Structure 1
């Protein structure tokens, strides 16, 4: 079928596949380095305990068959190596069926992790990476042209990400409608980056322009993805620029990077190669009949499953970041339907004194990404995902968000658990663990230009109250 492949999209597909492979590598690496403390057999939310009451049909995963920390580590590192191989071009050096098998294995391996990750893996970009990885199975390799249908399915995915986020904003917080949300967002977002302080101090009229431009980028531009070239490329370019702006202004794991990579499904590869003087991939051969049949079947599946997210987009009770099936296929997306006006942070402290008193010296634990010491400039971690730091942000909003895991977290600090301490930037008790741990709630705000010059501090914080009273291990 001549219509099956799209001429001129070879370079676009190359960017798509290598970009997704890089993001899968980051995701598997984060799982390998963080799982023991979070979901390991002795973690805060252990996988074996979770699987004891969650059946396979609700959470398909290889770990229903067997779980041990050693097996999970081997699984995660194997995914890391496979991602690295695909990133290096291995999928283009093998037959088409083998390339498809590589992508299918990446998707299935990460699905197994997400479906046992519980609260730690409850972010929309997990489903986004899985859905993108599933579509990549059918994108082919250098031996075939890029299939038109799969490129359109990827554009449909980008559309849902952007348009869903735009609608949830208009239907949510009034500050999106009066263009004032960015007065607060750069300061109160989950994990600020090194430039967030500067973004926050942009003039308020520019913040209003930012907000209006965001509405255009999410509610108008996505329709351009379905127009003929060169307009589709222009729409994709605008989405990419907007997402890069978000990358510069904060840390949102791989959410922005997946969207950027997927937007290349609408970019004319030939025009891109000419514009940037890049070499074009060699012309690909025809697609075998069995491959065409699989792509048609996948397209039909996505079309059927699209009913639920499409209905959700049109609903006044729109939900964001929701999967309608256990395989995370054709999901609904959205972000920041409401904006916090103030930032509250939970500061965790410990002491080695046997009995805390009014004069007790408490020492603060330092986190890698979330604000802590006021003189520390926020770091850039995205696309790497610091899961504990993100959930600490939710804990600052309400203790209810931390009910499942905060107690186990404190218990592991009191026992000096090495896996948990590796998630932190600074452990104030490098020898013996503390006798008591407490948590206090502070209100944080960015300092002004004057305060920064006078004190060198990026943050100012004010104690609001107690989050957790001094706690010790119960005596045997």
Structure 2
């Protein structure tokens, strides 16, 4: 570090700007493919109805329920009014249509792709700043009306990272020290917050048994999840201990490079880089053993902010401050002061008895509180959706609908989708955890009865090849990974039992 300029963190800036931009590409593509059947004009939870309700009206033909604003993984800590429950969105002023949503996503992919390629960074610092702010506001416009389908902690993480990336500057100057430090503060809240929510959460994190279950019961297992689950118990206990060390101890050392401002030598920078490397290593293990959208990939990208590589980049001979335009020093310092003011609430939350997990304390989703999996479920209950062409549901032959990511076919190897986010599959995991079925699931069954083409494209297999079923129903099973001996006998990755009816049979006539 050299005063105002983080002269040794050019490599970190390149990873941050390009990595965050690449994840924005993934997020906009995910929205382009899924938003319309889930939340579009004819979606399961139509966004226009939400906007009508938020304006104080009542959606035609449907009484809107504000509880649909509440997300499975996200809590909002700001006051509750009609628009206070919605974060800023361009669709407040510009009437929502599916075409406008597509235009916003295509524009977002184009801008994010240019940033990932490093093109805007070739100009003055205000050019990448405007590009990243456009991504931030554009994607916030989507998440604000995304309801439960966009209620995940990594949505607000992407927004906050995009906002901070806007002030990293251009290639012809070193990155500002204050912004690099704000990235360390973001990683600290992300990791330490997750560690604290676990220590305060379920007993399984304290008795070191959490990962004995988690690989099997996580929302969307990956190709190696079964192998991880079958590892010995002592290994799973070691995983939990390693997790606690990586999330509760290591984050404090991310700030070690700040000591380089007053202590000569490479030791402070090395300590920070080692801390970042530990964070990256633990996140790579999570990438290998699960599908958590872009949460792990974003954490990896953000952790690179603490890795300084001397000699990379172009720095003026005069030193750090002279290498930064005065106006840019003023802008970045103003952002630092803004964050100092906004950070009081999340800092207090980290040490509060009732710690909020994935909470935003302002409508702009900056300086958020993060965390995940404060408790771990011990059984995997899957909702299986079935349909039939027969007239009598009591004697009918039922056929299962296949989902892309969630477990279904007992022989299929779980697939790797992350950092892509399968929103419908994720919410199917949450259904058994609730006290009642959500409104979106009832709407989903109706779409299946109508053989709605857009909805069917969200699935991996339609057993009726586009034909309308007479009836659909939902049943639940307990799923578990097969042991090695069971796999040798059946070649199945999963075993299921305890079938129980959840809904139906239902038909359009009913």
Distance 1:110 1:76 in 2: 8
CA contact (8 A) 1:56 1:64 kept: no
Deviation string, structure 1 residues 294-314 (Cα, Å, up to 9, x no partner): 111111111111111111111
Cα displacement (A) at 1:287: 1.8
**Which residue of 2 is the match for residue 354 of structure 1?**
391
1:413 aligned to which of 436, 445, 448? 448
Q: Given the alignment of the two structures, is residue 159 of structure 1 paired with residue 195 of structure 2, yes or no?
A: no
Comparing 282-291 and 159-168, the one that deviates more: 282-291
Q: Given the alignment of the two structures, is residue 403 of structure 1 paired with residue 438 of structure 2, yes or no?
A: yes
Distance 2:246 2:423 in 1: 28
Deviation string, structure 1 residues 336-358 (Cα, Å, up to 9, x no partner): 10010100000000001122123
**Which residue of 2 is the match for residue 337 of structure 1?**
374
**Which residue of 2 is the match for residue 277 of structure 1?**
none
**Number of residue-to-residue matches in the alignment:** 465
Q: Given the alignment of the two structures, is residue 88 of structure 1 paired with residue 108 of structure 2, yes or no?
A: no
CA contact (8 A) 2:391 2:470 kept: yes
2:305 aligned to which of 254, 265, 273? 265
Deviation string, structure 1 residues 361-380 (Cα, Å, up to 9, x no partner): 11100000000010111000
Distance 2:235 2:284 in 1: 17
**Which residue of 2 is the match for residue 276 of structure 1?**
none
Distance 1:177 1:239 in 2: 21
Deviation string, structure 1 residues 234-275 (Cα, Å, up to 9, x no partner): 0000000010011111000000111110111110123xx8xx
Q: Given the alignment of the two structures, is residue 122 of structure 1 paired with residue 173 of structure 2, yes or no?
A: no
SS in 2 for 1:368: coil
Comparing 74-83 and 383-392, the one that deviates more: 74-83
Deviation string, structure 1 residues 38-93 (Cα, Å, up to 9, x no partner): 11011011111011122545321011122100110111111011111111111222
Comparing 56-65 and 422-431, the one that deviates more: 56-65
Cα displacement (A) at 1:398: 2.6
Cα displacement (A) at 1:106: 0.8
SS in 1 for 2:205: helix
1:281 aligned to which of 294, 309, 313? 313
Distance 1:8 1:370 in 2: 44
SS in 2 for 1:347: strand
1:455 aligned to which of 490, 493, 509? 490
**Which residue of 1 is the match for residue 319 of structure 2?**
none
SS in 2 for 1:444: strand
Q: Given the alignment of the two structures, is residue 378 of structure 1 paired with residue 428 of structure 2, yes or no?
A: no
2:401 aligned to which of 365, 387, 391? 365
The TM-score, its normalising length taken from structure 1, stands at: 0.95
SS in 1 for 2:272: helix
CA contact (8 A) 1:10 1:145 kept: yes
Q: How does 1:254-333 map to 2 (within 5 A)?
A: 254-270=294-310, 280-283=312-315, 286-333=323-370
Distance 2:454 2:483 in 1: 38
The TM-score, its normalising length taken from structure 2, stands at: 0.89
**Which residue of 2 is the match for residue 43 of structure 1?**
43
Structure 2 unaligned spans of 5+: 55-81, 257-267, 317-321
**Which residue of 2 is the match for residue 237 of structure 1?**
277
Distance 1:305 1:151 in 2: 17
Change (3 A) 1:205 1:246: same
Q: Given the alignment of the two structures, is residue 470 of structure 1 paired with residue 499 of structure 2, yes or no?
A: no
